[in-house]
């Protein structure tokens, strides 16, 4: 007499991830720590997941997307600054001379960022970013920047949230550059975005309160700044942390110091065809010391080429 077999087929929570060790270890981790009978069970308040942004949730080549925003602001602002035509680093930007711009070094970039990111109110800055993100296109991919997010990571964010993880961005990028679009693009609320920031000042003029952005760094949310930012904004160590470069190493170590079972995940840019391939010697997203430490400590390393069957949402079949 044949037995009746009831089979429940669970929908795959990570369809853009190829079957393999990485995908299986993510699912095994989540199933373990959310199982109330497991010795590794993590209470909901402690299910904190932190994600780097540039190179981890969206692309970062040929330069950080925030820099494209800054360059477009320089051009828009140049009408009021005729002197920029003959003054570096502005001259290089206005002439689209990337080589001359890079020759200005980090000091030139800081000038560009501060010039374009300060001396507005927070409301004005939000409007500028919102307009840019809605329309601006990547010069090589010919897609909007906000379309160049990684489909597998969107699925991972969803999967973690479906298991009561609270998902945060912890990025070296500007906090107020990201907040205007993280809700639409990642389903991550503004208050769950941690990033670099400028100092601000409250003013109350004629009964109209506003907050002014000053040309003075507040938090540099990169490297050692990531645990500091996590402590400031989140107040506890993550149990799940994902990054792609040496700038995330301190964040992953901070997660690793958690007393709960943790998962540390590195996205390795190995796909020169569908995205970009770079690591140890790259100026952007340098992944060298952290690659050694991740290997040594057996942290999870995602190969974009091998582990992802789709990179961007628009490629989905």
Residues that bind a second copy (CB under 8 A): 45, 48, 122, 166, 168, 175-176, 179, 183, 189-193, 197, 200-202, 204, 208-211, 218, 224-225, 227-228, 231-236, 250, 253-254, 257
Please choose which of a second copy, Ca ion, none residue 191 contacts, taking the beta carbon within 5 to 8 angstroms, the exact cut-off set by kind.
Answer: a second copy
Closer of 2 and 235 to a second copy (Cβ): 235
Out of 22, 26, 42, 54, which residue is the one contacting Ca ion (CB under 5 A)? 54
- Select the binding partner of residue 228 from a second copy, Ca ion, none (C-beta < 5 to 8 A, by kind): a second copy
Q: Which of 34, 115, 182, 244 binds Ca ion (CB under 5 A)?
A: 244
Which CB, 97 or 224, lies closer to a second copy?
A: 224
Choose the binding region for Ca ion from 16-24, 144-152, 179-187, 242-250 (rule: CB under 5 A): 242-250
Q: Of 93 and 133, which CB lies nearer to a second copy in the complex structure?
A: 133
From the list Ca ion, a second copy, none, partner contacted by residue 195 (C-beta under 5 to 8 A by kind)? none
Q: Among residues 30, 48, 52, 93, which is the contact residue for Ca ion, using CB under 5 A?
A: 52
Task: Compute the least distance from the CB of residue 248 to Ca ion, in Å.
Answer: 6
| 54 or 155: CB nearest Ca ion | 54
Q: 3-class secondary structure for the chain?
A: CCCCCCCCCCCCCCCCECCCHHHHHHHHHHHHHCCCCCCCCCCHHHCEEEECCECCCECCCCCCHHHHHHHHHHHHHHHHCHHHHHCCCHHHHHCCCHHHHHHCHHHHHHHHHHHHHCCCEHHHHHHHHHHHHHHCECCCCCCEHHHCECHHHHHHHHHHHHCCCEEEEEEEEEHHHHHHHHHHHHCCCHHHEEEEEEEEEEEEECCEEEEEEEEEEEECCCCCHHHHHHHHHCCCCCCEEEECCHHHHHHHHHHHCCCCCCEEEEEECECCCCCCECCCCCCCCCCCHHHHHHHHCCCEEEEHHHHECCCCHHHCC
We find the least distance from the C-beta atom of residue 226 to a second copy, in angstroms, to be 8
Range in contact with Ca ion (rule: CB under 5 A) among 26-34, 51-59, 105-113, 130-138: 51-59
Q: Does 61 bind Ca ion (CB under 5 A)?
A: no
* Shortest distance in whole angstroms from residue 71 CB to Ca ion: 20
Nearest residue to Ca ion, using CB? 55
Number of residues counted as binding Ca ion (CB under 5 A): 5
Which residues are CB-contacts of 27 (< 8 A; sequence separation ≥ 6)?
Answer: 13, 14
Contact of 304 with 293, CB cutoff 8 Å: no
Stretch of 55-63, 77-85, 114-122, 149-157 lying at the interface with Ca ion (CB under 5 A):
55-63
222 binds Ca ion (CB under 5 A): no
d(CA 35, CA 17): 23
State how far Cα 171 lies from the chain centre: 5
59 binds Ca ion (CB under 5 A): no
Residues that bind Ca ion (CB under 5 A): 52, 54-55, 244-245
């Amino acid at each position: 007499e044949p037995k009746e077999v009831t089979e429940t087929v669970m929908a795959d929570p990570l369809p853009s991830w190829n079957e393999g060790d990485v995908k299986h270890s993510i699912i095994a981790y989540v199933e373990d720590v959310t199982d109330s009978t497991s010795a590794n069970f993590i209470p909901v308040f402690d299910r904190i997941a932190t994600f780097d942004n540039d190179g981890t949730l969206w692309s970062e080549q040929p330069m950080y997307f925030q820099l494209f925003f800054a360059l477009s602001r320089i051009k828009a602002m140049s009408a009021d600054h005729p002197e920029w035509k003959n003054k570096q680093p502005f001259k290089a930007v206005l002439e689209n001379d990337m080589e001359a711009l890079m020759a200005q070094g980090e000091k030139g970039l800081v000038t560009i960022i501060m010039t374009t990111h300060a001396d507005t109110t927070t409301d004005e800055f939000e409007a500028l970013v919102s307009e840019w993100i809605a329309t601006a296109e990547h010069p090589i991919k010919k897609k909007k920047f906000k379309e160049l997010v990684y489909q597998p990571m969107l699925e991972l964010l969803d999967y973690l949230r479906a298991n009561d993880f609270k998902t945060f961005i912890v990025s070296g990028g500007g906090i107020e550059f990201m907040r205007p679009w993280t809700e639409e693009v990642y389903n991550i609320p503004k208050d769950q975005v941690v990033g670099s920031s400028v100092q601000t000042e409250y003013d109350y003029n004629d009964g109209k309160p506003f907050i002014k952005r000053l040309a003075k760094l507040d938090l540099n949310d990169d490297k050692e700044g990531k645990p500091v930012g996590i402590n400031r904004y989140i107040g506890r160590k993550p149990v799940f942390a994902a990054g792609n470069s040496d700038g995330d190493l301190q964040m992953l170590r901070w997660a690793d110091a958690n007393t709960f079972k943790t998962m540390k995940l590195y996205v390795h840019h190995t796909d020169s065809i569908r995205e970009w391939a770079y690591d140890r010697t790259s100026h952007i997203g340098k992944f060298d010391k952290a690659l050694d430490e991740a290997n040594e400590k057996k942290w999870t390393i995602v190969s974009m080429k091998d582990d992802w069957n789709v990179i961007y949402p628009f490629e989905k079949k």
